[in-house]
Structure 1
Amino acid sequence: MKKILILLVVFTATFSHAQSTGSVVGKLTDKEYNNEPLAFANVIIKGTTKGTTSDFDGYYKLESLSPGAYTLMFSFVGYETQEINIQIVAGKVTELNVPMGASAASLDEIVIKTTTKRESETALLLEQKKAVEIKTAIGAEELSKKAVSDAAAATLKVTGVNKKEGSSKIYVRGLGDRYNTTTLNGLPLPSNDPRNKNIDLSLFGSDIIESVGIGKAFSSYTSLDLAGANIDIVSKETSKKSLLKIGVSTGANTQTTFKDFKEIDGANWFGVNSNTKHDVRSLSTYSFENSYTPNSTKANPNLGLSINYGKKITLSDESNLSIFLVGSFSNKYTFQEGTADAIVDISDSGVLNVGSIFDTETYNYNASKMLMGNIVYKINDNHKLSYNHLFIHSNTQKIQDFVGTTNDVGRDSDDNRLVNVLLQTEIQNRLFVNQLLSTNKLGESIDVNAAVSYNAIFNDEPDRRKNTFIINNDTNTTRISQNAVRDNSRFYGNLFENNIAGNLSIVKYLGERFENNGKITLGYNGSITDRKFDGIYFDHNFTNPRNSFVDVNDLDATFNQNNLNNGLFGIETSRGRNSNDPETYLPQLYDAEKTIHAAYLNAIYKFNDKLTANVGVRAEDIKMDVEWDTNISFPGFSNNSKITLDKQYILPTLNLKYQLNEKTNLRASGSITYTYPQFKEIAPFTYEGINYQESGNPALLPSDNYNGELKFELFPNKSELISIGVFGKLIQNSINRLERNSAVERDFTFDNSGDATVYGVELEGRLNILSKESDDQEKSQNLTLGGNVTLMKTELEYNTSNTLFNYTGDSSQLEGASPFTINADVSYRFKLNDKETISTLVFNYQSDKVYSIGTNFQENIVEKGVPLLDFVFSHKFNKNLSIKFNAKNLLNPSFERYRDIPEKLTMNSYKRGASISAGISYSL
């Protein structure tokens, strides 16, 4: 019923989302002095008193213009006045560059260019300068200029944002997945992998992105379940009458391509596995469809395919319909070779207690498909109705082949044995996103905004296969090892999650829409999320494992119906649901629901030409229910139980902007936010890896976050920025991953470890080192330098009253927070008529950070900082044909985790290899 009410409320206001005004920006040049910038020239809208003057660099801007036709008058003492007719379009920036001289310029000297507001680099920087909130956005123009391939790479252009190579997680000011949110066109966007809170941003290629906005200071009209940033992806709409673009790319990895490779039997090359559920009806029948033995092959070059189609149809003088479709496929082979050591603890005498020591080989194959489409219907530039659909299918296959020793095997001088652990994991995700948004202006001073979305995700883990063997080098034999119930098993897991969300707001301008002193917004956000998960293990228990010899290249010769009939092994299930019937195998499961209802009031008021304030308050009611039935219990909870978190919040936000002059802003912000635990962090279901396990903690509680920031911004010209900011956060009852005492060498869970403080300083610069343009503007070259640095200190004071976990020491750095991060890029661009060449070198580094908090006299596990260096090159031969070349991870550093003791003992180490790719695209 609640879902129906939300849908009804949102659909009744379908024609209602606010439309932005138009703007004009441009540069005036002096024809009499070699086209040098012309400062202090007058720019006036004919027939009005509205106007401006050009700055020292010849740049000017006119903002908040109502859509329609205008005549602009350009004048300067001693020069001929020019009148130019332009058309202002809502939500877009018109770029008009005018050469001035003693005689009027000819029409072919005047450049009029209209671009979508959120695509133009100049317009986005202007929007950032004008906005009251502290925010940054990367548009399609900058993505193209720096040859950025996806949304994940785009975020790295923003101060304080880092992404680990090979991971989908974004860190903002050192705060990871738990503390960030991702939206698509302002609506909630679920993760393509339910083990994470946020979607993998690398799935969003630059072809579908209009802009990526990163908000690190918060306002009441957005979800406040965050402390790091909200990342909003604005999807592209076609602006051309017709568009067709086809792209093909291929790539290779230095330590993978054309070399021996292992693949899981099951999913095909396209990344589709139709056998996502088991077909076992009897434990005495071996009815598994997939082979236990990995397939041996060669790693082929990576492949990428994409196609874009757009069409704009004029229905009448006042209405049009636009269609934009994107489809893509990509795959990737990677191989990692390294070590994994388990340093359990250090005794008082300094003696190491070492668990397993493995040499590791990991084979990864990833295949993903994406389809996106939108249909936009516009009337009079006053009404707009759009429908967006996104489908993502991703399939990840991983084979981990570990060989080494344990405390019991291979340590004595006469023990010439090794342990071999083989884990084959496949995860298949299907994400469906549907959004309906509308915009409508009512009268001269009221807007009503509305949007609704329905999202669904299917996450399958079909037939995760684990084997444990003992290799005897003296006899050259391999036999089954069975020290634990999971040593030889198959696992099937299935998860389904759906989400309905809606936004509704009413905006009242203090004056007319285009001439006002501010606005007041009253709004509602609602969201309902349901998740259902079930998983089942089929454990293969051998009667006499010491005499059960196997051929690792033909495991199906051991795991088959004949050996099951003969009693070589038996099959048992994880009967954690009070079943005494050995033939009844009920899966472990958890069901979860999260409901959010939020109302907010947000006001922007311009006191004078210099001071503007944004004040807001948000009231949220959040209820989360998690019910589980598993084969494990958590202290204080049974294996069949339920928890409810029901919280109400009153959350104020404040943003202040003081404009010192045309080029300089001072900003301040403050807010109270929260961080709710995720479903997977609460449900006591154990996820088992090759030498670790992780499970939820049903005793988790939400965190309260207090955020503050001061920032100075200097805009030397339209495309340059220099800024410095200081920020601070207090996170009460912070949630962290921790390592607990267990028979398993690495057993992770989550806990409210205590209060954490975060404070730091950020520096950012975007500078034009070289900028040249020919008189006829047909030839230009630019050299730009961009960089940002974040210095940060975090301190987590442990909650010593917590008797469940015995923390090591009194305090620690916050889990996942890097004290130092740096992003830098240098880009060269050369353009001659329709030809264009871009070369970009990108560097990223984030210092060591805590991976998990240590307990029971074990120190923290720390993830070592590594430098990453990428090179991107692209060339456009003409309007239709272009090529692109990428070289990533050129330094090929070693990725490591170590125990935080003076010796810094390495626990994991591997290299990913350098990757290169090349692609070609053709557009019509």
Structure 2
Amino acid sequence: MYNTRTRGDAGSTTRRLVDVAVAILAVCFLAAGAAVAEDGSATGMILDGRSGTPVRGATVTVEGGLASATTSVDGAFQLALPAGTHSVVVSAEGYESQRILDVVVEADGLAQFSAVLMPAGQGAGQEVALADTITVEATAVDASASALLAERKASAEIIDNIGSEEISKNSGSDAADALRRVTGISLQDSKFAYVRGLGDRYGNTTLDGSRIPSTEFERKVVPLDLFDADLLDNITVRKSYSPEQPGDFAAGAIELVTRSFPARQVLSVGLSSGHNSETTGDPLLQAPMGLSSSGAGGQPLPADFPDRAVVRQSRFLGIGFGSADLERMGERIAGRWTPTGSDDAPLGRGGKIAFGNTFGGFGVMLAGNWDNSFESRAEQRTFYSVGQGGAIVPLHAYDFDYGVEQIKSSWMGNFSLRAGDGGQIEIRSLQTNLSMSEARFQEGFFSDINNDIEDHRLQYEDQEVSNLQIGGDHYVSGIGSNGSTLTWRGSSSTARTHEDLRQTIYELFEDGFRLTNNGQSGFMYFNDLEDEIDDYRADWETFFARGDRFGSFKVGVRRWTNDRAFGGRRLRMFPRDTEGIDLTGTPEQIYSPANIDFFGFQLTEVTNATDSYSADWGVDAAYAQVDYGWQDWRIVGGLRQEESDQNVRTIDRTALGGAETVTNKSHGDIAGSLSVIRSLGATQNLRFSVSRTVNRPEFREVAPFRFKHIVGGFVVVGNPDVERALIDSFDARWEWFPSAGDVVAASVFYKDFTDPIESVVISAVEPTETFRNVEGARNLGLELEFRRNLGFVGSAAENWTAIFNYTFIDSEIQIDAGTTVLTNPVRPLTGQPENLVNLGLEWVPDSYDTTLRVLYSLVDEKIHLGGVFGLPDVIEEARSSVDLVWRQGIVGGLDLKLAVVNALNEERNWSQGGETFRLYDPGRAISVGLGYSF
């Protein structure tokens, strides 16, 4: 893996899949051309009023004999109905029936409602009037706010969720943007989610229930900006543990669910454009190559570039390359080095397309998105040292100009086949690609040489995630007093990242800036990551009910494997003899063919011995879980056994024969939980949960080899002695669901960490970052949530909805002060804000098909970097944002959305010891989207 692949190789699979997706969508458009429905549809879910589980085999009948349907294994139903007002009767064996009044269906519209059935003898048959006419165009039932709240109320765990309907009313376009409105969630670098102050190593993300790999080189965290919000049906955050989940549960599991096939035909297209006050219309620094519409770009190594080290030939050993070969290779990859100015930055632009329908028992959902964005950013950074008396003094001070272009493309294809009333089989696929081209110019004072420098850097990065899953849900009526379900899933996911970077540094002399012989000047870096996860699981649940006792017994097995391969390559134009070469010229002039030879600049390998590694990880698991209910009480508990085996291999390719180092870590662990739920009437729950889970070291944390970040940072050495940590969690929540779509809740949580794994900096020949099990850590907090239509105040407020959530978090990590040069060995966890606030006010008038939202968010200050050698911690200062969102139906299926993000144009600021460490203005962003649904 010493040689790195080219961008063309990386994108070939993507382009083939995109071509297939485009062809399928084209066929769907042709097929849908004549499909103009006159009737409407009704969809919903039927739930057990005691346990909240789906009622399978319930009959949903429209009075008058117009239509009838039976609920499937997931309790869902769908009906084709003529336009008009209907009454619907829901019945099931062993349950009281329920009659739903005033179900209004408009021509070519979709009505949604759910019913809760009580066991026979525990309540009279009910007659319910739908207070509000529900007319939703092309929205899946699971995505509606009321259905998601019903799922939350019935859940055995403490969860929060947000559906596509709610996401569409907010600003932002990806999963990360959607999650920042959820209680207890904060974002790091606008793409990594922290749940209750815990992120990175403590994060777990699944896609349609299966684990997905990471595109990050040195950690397992999944960047959520890769996943377009338009492709998601809902997002669930599980904040308490149950044994059916993986045992490496910490603060919460984030579950991304892609769009399912709709109850009626969906055919939509959309176009969007974006403006940023700091970018659009201003000169944009650019890489000379730019990006193609598919995201291709950069300057990768040629496919036939030698795999072995590029070094001068040894007269004794006979290995290496001769001067002529080195000259030829240097001239071949010299390429471009200097960012260029450009015309004014254009508007961002994007497009989307979606098709979905059901054909009897077969359903299909296809969708694709493409987006092109630009960013221009002026940034200031100052680095400090400790002066006399402990005061901090500036060490390096730089001004940066960034120019960034991004292209993101995503597509998904989901297919489902219902096997009668007893089950369904699904195939889900998704591919997403994010390409970035960055040009950077840096200037300022560099204290190491006591002089001013100029730094030119070009960077290209391409990230890709693909997922293919097949699974099924089957109901078996003959096993168990109330039947049983078998659920199975198998998935294969691959994440790939390619990066190439080149950099030159100039130093100030009397005649101007000259190219310097710094190790990072004339430097080129190429790397590739491929991370693959295969995840297989099967779950069997059997249900029972006797009198006022009810519940289920559930068992399951799961195996997932993770294979990762990383290859890095570092090359440099080394100045052997620069006499006669004008070092004040541009890099392109300096690295011209005339200057690349034995007596000028010579291509040299500077790859570290451990820049390439491979690793594998396998976890086998089995669990048993009991869900037992009695009157208003429900108890859910169980145990999960996991066997983990992890191997990391690195090869020193600079050594003869390629010496290999292998590190193995194996763990056997039991995770478990106990949850108690007390129903306080029909609309309230009181929940308590206690659990023990594990946190295992990641690949590079256990491998005893040295590696260094591309630019800056400490040398990092893994520690084979680091062991897994244990996490004991205690959670409680009171929740009230006063009406459909409304919720009021209060939660408290406490987590105690035994032997937590933490990054520490130790004093050595040079400061070194490593990983250790530290003394301990704890994390506690409070969450408040209020979302309610204000009609309870008075009729004048019926069109207004208030949204509020608040999170308080207090954490502490304890590191042995004698083993580290960290200034504060006892401090809050990195990336954890103490306070999080989200406020929103929504107005939906009775007419005009308008939705208007004003949104406010506050993220408190948090530690960005732990200080060392007496320096204070680097603090990311508190920031707030005001966003405005206006959605307007125009005519027919035409829809307009206008969003303003960071309307007050708040700056981003980091500080150290009260002094500015980093500062930039992200600008005010305005986006306009126009969509049409056929």
| 2:374 aligned partner, one-letter code | Y
From 678, 693, 698, the equivalent of 1:673 is 693
Q: Which residue type is aligned with residue 822 of structure 2?
A: Y
Select 2:918's aligned residue among 898, 908, 914: 908
Query: Which residue pairs with 2:145 in the alignment?
Result: 121
- Secondary structure of the equivalent of 2:261? coil
Write the distance in 2 (CA, Å) between the matches of 1:762 and 1:772.
Answer: 24
1:170 counterpart (174, 177, 193) = 193
Distance change in 2, residues 1:135/1:643 (3 Å): same
Aligned match for 2:327, one of 265, 284, 287: 284
Kept in 1, the 8 Å contact 2:790–2:797? The answer is: no
Q: Is the 8 A contact 1:522 1:602 kept in 2?
A: yes
Shift, 1:51, TM fit: 10
CA deviation digits over 1:845-870, x for unaligned, max 9? Answer: 22111223333333322222211222
What is the number of residues matched between the two proteins?
A: 816
- Indicate if the aligned counterparts of 1:368 and 1:392 stay in contact, CA closer than 8 A: yes
Equivalent residue in structure 2 for 1:465, among 486, 499, 502: 502
- SS for the counterpart of 2:149 is helix
- Which residue number in structure 2 is paired with residue 557 of structure 1? 589
Q: How does 1:789-828 map to 2 (within 5 A)?
A: 789-800=806-817, 803=819, 805-828=820-843
* Superposed displacement of residue 503, structure 1: 0.8
Q: Secondary structure at the match of 2:214?
A: coil
**Counterpart position of 1:28:** none
Q: Which amino acid aligns with 1:524?
A: V
Moved more, 224-233 or 284-293: 284-293
Residue 155 of structure 2 corresponds to 131
Amino acid at match of 2:381: A
Q: CA deviation at 1:105?
A: 8.7
Amino acid in structure 2 at the alignment position of 1:519: S
Please state how far the C-alpha of 1:653 moved relative to its aligned partner: 0.9
What is the CA-CA distance between 1:181 and the residue it aligns to? 0.7
Asked if 1 retains the 8 angstrom alpha-carbon contact of 2:301 and 2:333, the reply is: no
**Stretch moving more, 350-359 or 839-848:** 350-359
Asked if 1 retains the 8 angstrom alpha-carbon contact of 2:44 and 2:112, the reply is no
- Kept in 2: contact 1:266–1:290 (CA 8 A): no
CA gap 1:651/1:71 in 2 versus in 1, 3 angstroms: same
Q: Would you say the 8 A contact 2:761–2:822 is kept in 1?
A: no
Query: 1:841 aligned to 2:881?
Result: no
Question: What corresponds to 1:453 in structure 2?
Answer: 491
- Select the residue among 339, 360, 378 that pairs with 1:294: 339
Q: Deviations over 1:774-829 (max 9, x none)?
A: 9xxxx99621111111112111111346x3x3332441111221111112222222
TM-score by length of 2: 0.81
Counterpart AA for 1:132: A
Q: For 2:438 and 2:104, how far apart are their aligned partners in 1?
A: 59
Q: State how far apart, in whole Å, the 1-side matches of 2:425 and 2:87 are.
A: 36
What's the secondary structure of 1:830's corresponding residue? coil
Query: Which residue, out of 272, 277, 287, partners 1:254?
Result: 277
2:136 counterpart residue number: none
| TM-aligned CA deviation for residue 126 of structure 1 | 1.8
Distance 2:53 2:493 in 1: 37
Q: 2:298, 2:460 within 8 Å by CA — same for their partners in 1?
A: no
Q: Is the 8 A contact 1:533 1:591 kept in 2?
A: yes
Residues 1:889 and 1:522: Cα distance change in structure 2 (over 3 Å): same
Question: Which of 588, 592, 603 pairs up with 2:611?
Answer: 588
Sort the Cα spacing of 1:454 and 1:109 in 2 relative to 1 into closer, same or farther, 3 A: closer
Distance 1:453 1:830, change over 3 A: same
For the residue of structure 1 that corresponds to 2:358, the secondary structure is strand
1:113 maps to amino acid: Q
Instruction: Please list the CA deviations of residues 512-561 of structure 1 after superposition, one character each: whole Å capped at 9, or x if unmatched.
Output: 9x997111111011111111111111122224679864456x42111133
1:689-700 alignment to 2 at 5 Å? 689-692=710-713, 695=716, 697-699=718-720, 700=722
**Deviation for aligned residue 1:219:** 0.7
Report deviation, 1:83: 11
Partner residue, 1:362: 402
Q: Compute the TM-score of the two structures, normalised by the length of structure 1.
A: 0.81
Q: 1:758 is aligned with what amino acid?
A: N
Gaps of 5+ in 1: 1-20, 26-49, 53-60, 74-81, 315-319, 411-416, 578-586
Structure 2 unaligned spans of 5+: 1-42, 80-84, 89-99, 114-138, 307-324
Aligned CA distance change for structure 1 residues 822 and 612 (closer, same or farther; 3 Å) = same
Deviations 1:83-128 (A, max 9, x none): 99864533337899979xxxx9999799963575522211221222
Q: Does 1:875 align with 2:888?
A: yes
Q: Please say if 1:405 is aligned against 2:445.
A: yes
Q: 1:624 aligns with which of 643, 646, 650?
A: 646
Separation in 2 of the partners of 1:432 and 1:265? Answer: 30
Q: 1:524: which partner in 2?
A: 557
SS in structure 2 of the partner of residue 854 of structure 1 = coil
Identify the match of residue 539 of structure 1 among 572, 593, 600.
572
**Which one has the bigger strand percentage?**
1
Deviation of 1:755 (Å): 1.1
1:472-511 → structure 2 map (5 Å cutoff): 472=509, 474-475=510-511, 477-483=512-518, 485-511=519-545
| CA 847–723 in structure 1, closer or farther in 2 if over 3 Å, else same | same
1:388-408 CA deviation, whole Å, 9 max, x = no partner? 111111112222321111225
Aligned mates of 1:567, 1:837 — CA distance in 2: 72
DSSP 3-state at the match of 1:125: helix
Q: Which residue of 2 is the match for residue 787 of structure 1?
A: 804
**Residues 710 and 223 (structure 1 numbering): CA distance in 2 closer, same or farther, change over 3 Å?**
same
Q: Can you list the C-alpha shifts for 1:547-580, whole angstroms capped at 9, x where unaligned?
A: 864456x421111332122622222212555xxx
Q: Is the 8 A contact 1:448 1:504 kept in 2?
A: yes
Report what 1:659 is aligned to: 679
- Please give the secondary structure, in 1, of the residue aligned with 2:260: coil
CA–CA distance in structure 1, aligned partners of residues 687 and 803 of structure 2: 22
Contact 1:499 1:527 in 2 (8 A): yes
Q: 1:234 aligns with which of 247, 254, 257?
A: 257
Deviation of residue 897 (structure 1)? 2.5
In 1, the alpha carbon distance for the partners of 2:105 and 2:932 equals: 30
In structure 2, the partner of 1:332 is: 373
Superposed CA offset, 1:153-176 (max 9, x none): 332332111224x52111111112
The equivalent of 2:37 in structure 1 is: none
Seen in structure 2, the aligned counterparts of structure 1 residues 260 and 786 have a Cα distance that, compared at 3 Å, is same
TM alignment of 1:691-840, pairs within 5 A: 691-692=712-713, 695=716, 697-699=718-720, 700-738=722-760, 750-770=771-791, 782-800=799-817, 803=819, 805-832=820-847, 836-840=849-853
Aligned residue number for residue 7 of structure 1? none
* Cα displacement string for residues 843-896 of structure 1 (whole angstroms, at most 9, x for unaligned residues): 222211122333333332222221122221111124411111111122333323
One-letter amino acid of the counterpart of residue 335, structure 1: S
Is 1:647 aligned with 2:631? no
* Aligned equivalents of 1:743, 1:908: Cα separation in 2: 29
Structure 2 counterparts to residues 365-444 of structure 1, below 5 A: 365-409=405-449, 418-444=452-478
Asked if structure 1 preserves the Cα contact closer than 8 Å seen for 2:549 and 2:631, the reply is no
